[in-house]
């Protein structure tokens, strides 16, 4: 029988050690090298390729709570960026032989080729209980037969997420145009590209996912992606009809330049903030940002739209939140997380700007919130009409 690496024979031992002294013994798959990062868990039942390639996970090692991962392999269409960004991948069991008509390679070969370390064969339930109790913890995965005590010491000495500017490590280096729409591989819809007079959206890349860009193009927008360091003057010089501040990794409190860029855009053009962009929106209004205990990571989080009372199931991946008590009156809380009552959406009462903490592009996850993009495009169209 083949192991996760796809080969018969003895498996290579691996150890996961956390800063609290917890040690888990398992087996290596993917790249055989040591790695470190903040350890968080994701409750999605599927969508591991989208999770692996989500730039928001830069600096983190992801534990999947579903027990069997890799069943349907890896394909060229489902990546949310050009490569995996997770620092490590932790699963109960990694499937060595995927079975799916879209699969082009196994999870092991994909991670090995990308240099991402995986560990399987550990009790992920026990690990998640620790993280739920103590919060996200720094960890180290060592391959071969490392000393557990030395790995614990390395975990304690590793940098914290709050001390790193991770956005600069995932953002694009220069502007580019995005033209690919969203396509359903099973039920493709007819689509034609946006015309020369189409609405123009500028997306500030703090760690953008491809499906955000696809959704905007599908709604007939011309999309330009710019680096996170782009100033408001440079953004506005592109004459956008609207600006999107994307999701991304790390602590928004380390991004005063992005907060300043959003502040310079507010009241000039419609603005949408998604996930990290939502936190940046809150910070630009003077709100306080705080770190969640273990974050929200998964595809099954209930969120209420307060004005209508409607509840949607959302896809989420964030570690920080906006304190609603710190916000000025100009900010209206529009969405609330029904699990822990944290803020999931904001709206500016005076200018066309709003934000969403969760992922309306939902890759992976439910499609309940795609209306967010339609609402933003309608706001852009209304703004253009007023300008003309």
- Residues annotated as catalytic (active site), given as ranges: 275, 359, 361
Cα–chain center distance at 186:
25
Cα–Cα distances (Å) from 57 to 19, 288, 289, 353, 378, in that order, read 19, 22, 19, 26, 31
CB 142 within 8 A of CB 34: yes
What is d(CA 83, CA 64) in angstroms, rounded to the nearest whole number? 19
Residue where the block lists tokens 């350890």 = 39
Nearest Cα to Cα of residue 205 among 220, 181, 223: 223
CB 175 within 8 A of CB 224: yes
- DSSP SS3 for 277: helix
Nearest Cα to Cα of residue 275 among 343, 225, 340: 343
- DSSP SS3 for 245: strand
Number of H helices, E strands in the chain: 10, 19
CB 37 within 8 A of CB 59: yes
Residue where the block lists tokens 């507010």 = 266
CB 221 within 8 A of CB 200: yes
Beta bridge partners of 14: 26, 143
What is d(CA 186, CA 78) in angstroms, rounded to the nearest whole number? 13
């Amino acid at each position: 029988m083949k192991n996760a690496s796809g080969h018969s024979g003895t498996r290579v031992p691996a150890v996961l050690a956390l800063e609290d002294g917890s040690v888990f013994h398992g087996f290596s798959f993917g790249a055989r090298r040591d790695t470190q990062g903040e350890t968080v868990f994701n409750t999605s039942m599927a969508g591991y390729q989208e999770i692996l390639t989500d730039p928001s996970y830069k600096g983190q090692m992801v534990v999947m709570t579903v027990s069997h991962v890799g069943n349907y392999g890896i394909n060229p269409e489902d990546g949310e960026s050009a490569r995996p960004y997770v620092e490590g991948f932790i699963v109960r069991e990694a499937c060595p032989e995927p079975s799916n008509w879209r699969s082009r390679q196994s999870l092991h070969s994909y991670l090995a080729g990308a240099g991402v370390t995986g560990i399987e064969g550990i009790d992920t339930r026990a690990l998640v209980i620790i993280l739920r109790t103590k919060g996200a913890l720094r960890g180290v995965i060592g391959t071969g037969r490392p000393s557990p005590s030395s790995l614990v010491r390395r975990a304690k000495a590793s940098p914290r997420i709050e001390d790193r500017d991770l956005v600069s490590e995932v953002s694009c280096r220069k502007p580019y145009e995005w033209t690919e729409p969203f396509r359903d591989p099973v039920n493709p819809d007819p689509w034609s590209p946006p015309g020369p007079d189409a609405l123009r959206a500028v997306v500030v890349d703090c760690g953008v996912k491809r499906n955000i860009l696809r959704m905007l193009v599908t709604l007939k927008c011309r999309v330009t992606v710019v680096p996170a360091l782009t100033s408001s003057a440079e953004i506005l010089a592109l004459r956008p009809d609207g600006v999107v501040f994307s999701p991304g990794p790390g602590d928004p409190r380390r991004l005063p330049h992005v907060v300043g860029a959003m502040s310079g855009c507010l009241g000039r053009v419609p603005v949408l903030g998604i996930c990290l962009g939502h936190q940046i929106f809150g910070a630009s209004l003077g709100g306080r940002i705080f770190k969640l205990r273990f974050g929200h990571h998964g595809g099954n989080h209930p969120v209420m739209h307060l004005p209508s009372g409607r509840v949607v199931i959302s896809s989420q991946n964030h570690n920080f939140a906006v304190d609603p008590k710190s916000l000025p009156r100009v900010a209206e809380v529009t969405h609330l997380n029904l699990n822990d009552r944290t803020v999931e959406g904001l709206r500016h009462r005076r200018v066309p700007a709003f934000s969403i903490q969760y992922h309306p592009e939902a890759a992976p996850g439910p499609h309940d919130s795609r209306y967010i993009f339609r609402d933003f495009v309608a706001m852009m169209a209304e703004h253009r009409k007023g300008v003309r």
